[in-house]
Chains A and B, each alone.
Chain A
Amino acid sequence: MATEETDHEDGVQSIDPDDVDTEDILGSAIERREDPALVSGEAEYTDDIQKPEMTHMAMVRSQYAHAEIEEVDTSAAEEMDGVVAVYTADDLDVPGNLPVGWLLDSLEQVNHPILAGDRVRYQGDAVAIVVAEERYQAHDAADAVDVEYERLDAVAHPGEALDDDAPVIHEEAGSNQAFDWEIGDQEATKQAFEEAETTVSLDLHNQLLIPNAIEPRATVADYHPRTDELELDMTSQNPHVHRLLMSGVIDHPEHKLSIRAPEVGGGFGSKIHHYADEALTALAAKDLERPVKWTATRTETYITDAQGRGHETTGEMALDEDGNITGLRVHTKANMGAYLSTFAPSIPTYLYATLLSGQYEIPTIYCTVEGAFTNVPPVDAYRGAGRPEASYVVERLVRQAAREVDMDPAEFRRQNFVPGDAFPYETPVAMEYDSGDYEKTLDRAKEMLDYEEFRERQEQAREDGRYLGVGLSAYIEACGIAPSELVGELGAQAGLWESSVVRFQPSGTVTVYVGTSGHGQGHDTTYAQIVADKLGVEYDDIEVEEGDTDEIPQGMGTYGSRSAAVGGGAIVESAEKVIEKGRKIAAHQLEADPEDVEFENGGYQVAGAPDRSMTIQDVAGASYLAHDIPDDMEPGLEATSFFDPENFVFPFGMHAAIVEVDPDTGEIEFEEYVAVDDVGNQINPKIVEGQIHGGIAQGIGQALYESAEYDDNAQLTTGSMQDYAVPKPSHIPEIKTASTVTESPHNPLGVKGVGEAGTIAAPQAVVNAVVDALEPFGVEDIEMPLTNERVWRAIHENGGGD
């Protein structure tokens, strides 16, 4: 498969869509059509919604990470001004148990009630809800609910939680082990290590992160008793999934429940899951027969939004005498938090260990993962979801192995890459990589870094007492999450196809309905580009609708970098069906055989007779007039598709950072950050670049700044942006991007997905760079986030610095 290269070292320039011809629109870096509403404040977010008679809900959350609830006294709260109702677990008469949507053989399925009745298991656990006329009244009254607790010992870290003497969080599970899972060949891997010339081992900690979507979670629920219809506007990445799950949780029929995601301000995974809060808002609205609004405070998002990562891992790599990787063995203890969140079991298992082969040909791999219940918020998907953790393990071990066998890390990688002619490539951990050309991204990155020159400069600088380092990160990810049969075999309780409708209006404009649910990605723009290209209809004549269960047939939502690959695929299929129906109508009207009618640039034409032609818009008009269409044909021009691809897609690339470390202060300064990504065909290079930039910013956040820290009582001590450092623009270096393009064979657009690449690639590029810089001090590893203090200590423990 051909791999093309493009270069945007100086950044991609945006283009006005009016300056692009329809036939060139796919692949053009046109400006995003959603931005004017977003930057002018016209866009409507959930909290902007006002309804007559609307009430406000506030939550009473546990102050302890682990405690028995002895008594809940709501009497004072109920008497307060404006309070409409107060509910505790005793007041609920619905199943109220949040389901887990991914099963593993050894999974302990524990109860996850929407209101805690007997015991609270993390700080965000809700004990009661208060509904009042005004938001402040609800919050004041929530403070007046008197809860008596018997505090229990708590545990925040998976390693400690799995100790025999740890406090047991779910008594019905007997221990804190949520699951014990393995993949790969234990025996063969053991043998590889016995026969190895060299082995390396690292204990790696992938810290818990808080997602920090800019818009907190929110819900407005409105119930119509006469029709039994319950309408929710909510911050969702997947309204149809939320509808299905919630209909069970609150015992309301799915067809009487509608969920709409208005404008949603980011999610990074945190708005996939079914939380208690949204269901409670719905229940309150239903019970009170008045609209109810709940908006999380920023403080609440810190203790309730599902957190990400949280791995404690021992990784070992076996090597032969020539520096070839002969085996990989990994044991991970994964933090699941207090309960199993919606897709939580899949993240540290199938979305993690299946990527442990990285870009390398590794003959045998064996990985075990123990999931641990702890007293932190439930842990689930966060941008990258399992794949950053895998890439971190692989690329940190590769760096260490290269050092051990005394090879340059770039050449060590090249030697061990899956060769370009080996695709499709089956790994020892159940993945079949669709396509790839890893040397190309390595070469491009080396060129952009001026790698050889850098190594000389590094040598020189060390002589002057300055410490420069380069870190490489050769990443691979599996995304475009699908296909249904495969994920079903792996334990998913849902199919992961996507659906779309492409509908012509009689006047020739087009509306596209698709089951993904964008929340900042620019889907309106990219999907319209796809349809404009396929149908040859002007970009401005195409409208895109997402995120509404009433409008869109079905959908699985937006996560796992799946929208372009799976949603885009569904759109292409519908567009093709429309073209085919249109071809029959055109043939009928042009009095030709459909096989002789060609479709190009929005026009049907009888082959060899250019004057016998009509536009697809004319065909659309004719289809609705239905005065003159084939006898056996239904009127109208629209088509529905459910697209279920054959495989995941596998974007890959090489990220590299050059840093300078000040050994006296532990400060890290970026000299360069280079990202060469292969995300397949690009629908809009400007949007691709934005995704890469944003992902890298979050990846650098993990490497250097961010960490959800808990004290011995599992109390979050980084509970606000004062203590949890989300990187600011000044923390992020200038990023040089380039791309290679290797088409994915598994979807009609040849796209691979780009939403998570940056967060997957960046952390180990930075850590490897710092470790490379500090090689003269014998520093082999520093735990993320690489704070100045940790870097300084690592240097000083090895006798360096002042």
Chain B
Amino acid sequence: MEFNGTATIEDASTEEVWLALSDPYMIKEALPGCAFIVEIEGDEEIEEAAERAPEEDPETLPEAEPEEIAERAFVEGSRYAARMQISVGSVKPKFDTMVTIDDREFPEMNASAEGESSNSSFEMSSGMELVETENDVDVEWWAEADVFGRVAQMGQRVINPVAKRVVGRFFDEIEAQLQEVSEESSGGLRSRISGLF
């Protein structure tokens, strides 16, 4: 199954969007149904990494310090454990997911993921590129997914709208957070973010 699209984040700079989309906590906050995203250490299993998920997530933009985010940003070659619950038609599988950051160089990032639930699973490769327009940033994204089991059986007709809804909500949330960044720009946040690059 292939999905792609362009999400426009209004009134933001490429650097701001890049920083936001590099932050595991921001992604977790913005992704509907995501319980945690934790970096995997060594050979540990998803369950082991899950135990290190903080009870309360640290602050994200605009409250967090940009330098702090840069510190915890995704790292090329690293792997992350995530748990996501998605409702597809009549089923609500909980996917334990392993995400690998395949490459990451501003303004492009590619990642692959494998998720498993009791009766369904998926394998996905995906990527995004940020393109600066006049006042906005276009996030051009794509994903290729192999879906297995009960969710696959729902067919593309059911899965497509679900994917659209998840992606749509995700970027809306990112945009909402970044708009707060631009509102706080008097505090010098914007310049501090662009100064990071």
Contact = CB atoms under 8 A, between A and B. Distances in A.
B153 A303 contact: yes
Nearest to A77: B118
A62 B152 CA distance: 12
Contacts of B152: 63, 711, 713, 715-717, 719
Contact of A146 (B118, B150, B157): B118
A64 B155 contact: no
A284 B155 CA distance: 33
A720 interface: yes
A180 interface: no
B157 A299 contact: no
B183 interface: no
A704 B31 CA distance: 40
A723 B157 contact: yes
A713 B157 contact: no
Contacts of A715: 146-149, 152-153
A641 to B, nearest CB: 47
A302 B118 contact: no
B3 to A, nearest CB: 14
Interface string B121-136: 1000000000000000
Interface string A712-749: 11011111101100000000000000000000000000
Nearest to A144: B118
Please indicate which of the listed interface residues A63, A145, A146, A720 has the most CB atoms of chain B within 10 Å of its own CB. Answer: A63
Nearest to B152: A715
A136 B67 CA distance: 51
Contact of A717 (B120, B149, B150, B156): B156
B119 interface: yes
Contacts of B154: 719-720, 722
Given A720-B153, A722-B157, A723-B155, A713 B118 contact: no
Given A63-B120, A303-B153, A722 B148 contact: no
B: interface residue count bin: 10 to 19
A63 B156 contact: no
A719 B119 contact: no
Interface string A135-162: 0000000011110000100000000000
A722 B119 contact: no
Given A720-B155, A722-B158, A723-B155, A299 B147 contact: no
Interface string B33-52: 00000000000000000000
A151 B147 CA distance: 12
A237 interface: no
Contacts of A713: 146, 148, 152
B121 A63 contact: yes
A123 interface: yes
A64 B149 CA distance: 6
A61 B120 CA distance: 11
A713 B154 CA distance: 15
A713 B147 CA distance: 9
Nearest to B1: A711
Query: Taking each of A61, A151, A299, A717, which has the highest tally of chain B beta carbons within 10 Å of its own beta carbon?
Result: A717
Interface in B102-127: 118-121
Interface in B137-182: 146-150, 152-158
A717 B155 contact: yes
Contacts of A299: 150, 153
Interface in A56-72: 61-65
Nearest to A710: B152
Contacts of A722: 154-155, 157-158
B117 to A, nearest CB: 9
Nearest to A715: B152
Contacts of B158: 722-723
Of B120, B148, B150, B154, chain A has the most CB atoms within 10 Å of the CB of: B148
A143 B153 contact: no
Which label, helix, strand, loop or mixed, suits the secondary structure of the A interface? Answer: loop
Among B146, B147, B152, B156: residue with most chain A CB under 10 A: B152
Given A143-B118, A143-B119, A144-B118, A63 B150 contact: yes
A302 B153 contact: yes
- B1, B118, B119: residue with the most chain A Cβ atoms closer than 10 Å: B118
A722 B158 CA distance: 9
A719 B152 CA distance: 8
A480 B5 CA distance: 57
Contacts of B155: 717-720, 722-723
A145 B118 CA distance: 7
A665 B103 CA distance: 44
A531 B191 CA distance: 96
B144 to A, nearest CB: 11
B148 A64 contact: yes
Nearest to A154: B148
Nearest to B148: A63
Contacts of B1: 711
Given A63-B120, A143-B118, A719 B149 contact: no
Nearest to B159: A717
B157 A63 contact: no
A302 B153 CA distance: 9
A792 B1 CA distance: 24
A28 B156 CA distance: 50
Contacts of A723: 155-158
Given A63-B148, A64-B148, A719 B118 contact: no
B122 to A, nearest CB: 10
Contacts of B120: 63
A64 B151 CA distance: 11
A299 B119 CA distance: 13
Contacts of A151: 148
A302 B147 CA distance: 17
A61 B119 CA distance: 8
A63 B149 contact: yes
B170 to A, nearest CB: 25
Interface string B91-103: 0000000000000
A712 B150 CA distance: 16
A410 B150 CA distance: 48
Contacts of B153: 123, 299, 302-303, 715-717, 719-720
Contacts of A64: 121, 148-149
B149 to A, nearest CB: 3
Contacts of A63: 119-121, 148-150, 152
B111 to A, nearest CB: 20
Nearest to B123: A151
Contacts of A303: 153
A144 B1 CA distance: 27
A716 to B, nearest CB: 6
Contacts of B147: 715
A63 B152 CA distance: 9
A717 B156 CA distance: 7
Contacts of A144: 118
Nearest to A302: B153
Contacts of A302: 153
A711 to B, nearest CB: 7
B130 to A, nearest CB: 31
A708 to B, nearest CB: 11
A65 B155 CA distance: 15
A303 B149 CA distance: 10
13 contacts: A63-B120, A143-B118, A299-B150, A299-B153, A302-B153, A711-B146, A712-B146, A715-B148, A716-B153, A719-B154, A719-B155, A720-B155, A723-B157
Q: Shortest 8 CB-CB distances between A and B: which pairs?
A: A63-B149, A719-B153, A723-B155, A715-B152, A143-B118, A63-B148, A717-B155, A64-B148
Given A144-B118, A713-B152, A722-B157, 17 more contacts: A63-B121, A63-B149, A63-B150, A63-B152, A65-B148, A123-B149, A123-B153, A146-B118, A303-B153, A711-B1, A715-B149, A715-B152, A718-B155, A719-B154, A720-B154, A722-B155, A723-B157
Interface of B: 1, 118-121, 146-150, 152-158
Interface of A: 61-65, 123, 143-146, 151, 299, 302-303, 711-713, 715-720, 722-723
